[in-house]
């Protein structure tokens, strides 16, 4: 049996599907379905049971219904609104919930593989998993940073327990429509092109030209693959970056989207004053630690990753069969 928190969300639902493909269907999904549309992310997946995220903790803390039967807990659930200013909500959902779940996993002897975030590096330019490089610039990043610190301390006193934090960089792929304005730039640029025929990027900031701000964009398939690698290597613990190791400009992402469609125009808009001082104009995963534990998975570069994503959105299979919108006006039937 495997538990996946946030299992109806973006990365969690992709992980559930991948577990199914490995033959796992005894999967407990925990999530918050206040946004009921997220159920669609699980329609093509097999699970054993669904619990509200709060009910999961209550059952584990009181009834212990699956003691000794759980192979691993994948903790993907979190409040991911990076612009959220309610610090009490953020700390309750991202720090306190994670801390309680970790303590239960330690008590029950269950491996915990959890989602951290590259946001902990803030506006720095060194992206290696060392405390000296961690300077969160908003309360979301701080909630992730604080739990990383807690997990490090507990791991040092719980030898033999697998505790893995995966610092996701800019993840994109299927099943993220429910995220709205928190969806990846790949998703948002594709949606802009379909709806308006125009893609919008920020003008220059932090010394970068218009659209030349750079992020490490990583396909969700690759993120899932790292999670499964950790499942296969229970002897590995620690905090690890999950990205391609190569940054790409927003312009290159926009060009990849327009190339796929064979149409589209690009326009630059003023950089929002509300983001000044907290915007990451550069991220690029240092993969030294991940490679050092033997994980040598290959990651898709932006051009092929965007193509994979858009092919799937259009229902195009590996044989090329499907309804690609090349040279077709955005929104046309």
Residues with catalytic roles: 140, 179
b (16+ CB within 10 A) / e for 112-141: bbbbbbbbbbbeeeebebeeeebebbbbbb
Alpha-carbon gap, residue 223 to 202, rounded angstroms: 27
For residue 33, what are its two tokens?
A: 């379905």
Dihedral angle of Cα 45, 51, 52, 56, to the nearest 10 degrees: -130
DSSP 264-324: -EEEEEPPPGGGTTT--SB-----HHHHHTT-------HHHHHHHHHHHHTT--TT--S--
Angle between helical axes of 220-232 and 10-21 (0-180°, round to 10):
60
Strand partners of residue 3 = 28, 73
């Amino acid at each position: 049996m495997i538990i996946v928190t946030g299992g109806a969300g973006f990365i969690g639902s992709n992980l559930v599907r991948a577990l199914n493909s490995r033959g796992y269907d005894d999967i407990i999904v925990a999530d918050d379905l206040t946004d009921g549309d997220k159920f669609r992310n699980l329609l093509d997946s097999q699970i054993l049971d669904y619990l509200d995220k709060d009910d999961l903790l209550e059952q584990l803390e009181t009834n212990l219904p699956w003691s000794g039967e759980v192979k691993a807990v994948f903790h993907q659930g979190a409040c991911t609104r990076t612009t959220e200013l309610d610090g009490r909500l953020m700390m309750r959902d991202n720090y306190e919930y994670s801390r309680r779940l970790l303590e239960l996993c330690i008590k029950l002897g269950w491996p915990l593989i959890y989602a951290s975030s590259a946001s902990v590096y803030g506006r720095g330019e060194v992206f290696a998993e060392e405390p000296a490089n961690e300077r969160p610039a908003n309360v979301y990043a701080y909630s992730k940073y604080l739990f990383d610190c807690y997990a490090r301390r507990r791991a040092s006193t719980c030898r033999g327990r697998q505790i893995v934090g995966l610092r996701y960089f800019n993840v994109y792929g299927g099943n993220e429509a429910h995220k709205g304005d928190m969806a990846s730039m790949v998703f948002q640029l594709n949606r802009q092109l379909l709806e308006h025929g125009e893609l919008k990027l920020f003008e220059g900031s932090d010394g970068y030209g218009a659209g030349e701000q750079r992020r490490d964009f990583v396909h969700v398939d690759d993120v899932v693959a790292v999670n499964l690698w950790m499942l296969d290597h229970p002897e590995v613990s620690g905090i690890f970056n999950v990205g391609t190791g190569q940054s790409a400009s927003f312009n290159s992402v926009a060009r990849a989207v327009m190339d796929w469609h064979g149409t589209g125009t690009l326009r630059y808009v003023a950089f929002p004053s509300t983001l000044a001082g907290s915007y990451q104009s550069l991220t690029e995963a240092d993969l030294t630690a991940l490679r050092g534990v033997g994980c040598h998975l290959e990651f898709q570069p932006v051009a092929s990753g965007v193509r994979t994503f858009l092919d799937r959105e259009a229902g195009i299979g590996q044989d090329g069969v499907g309804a690609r919108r090349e040279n077709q006006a955005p929104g046309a039937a």
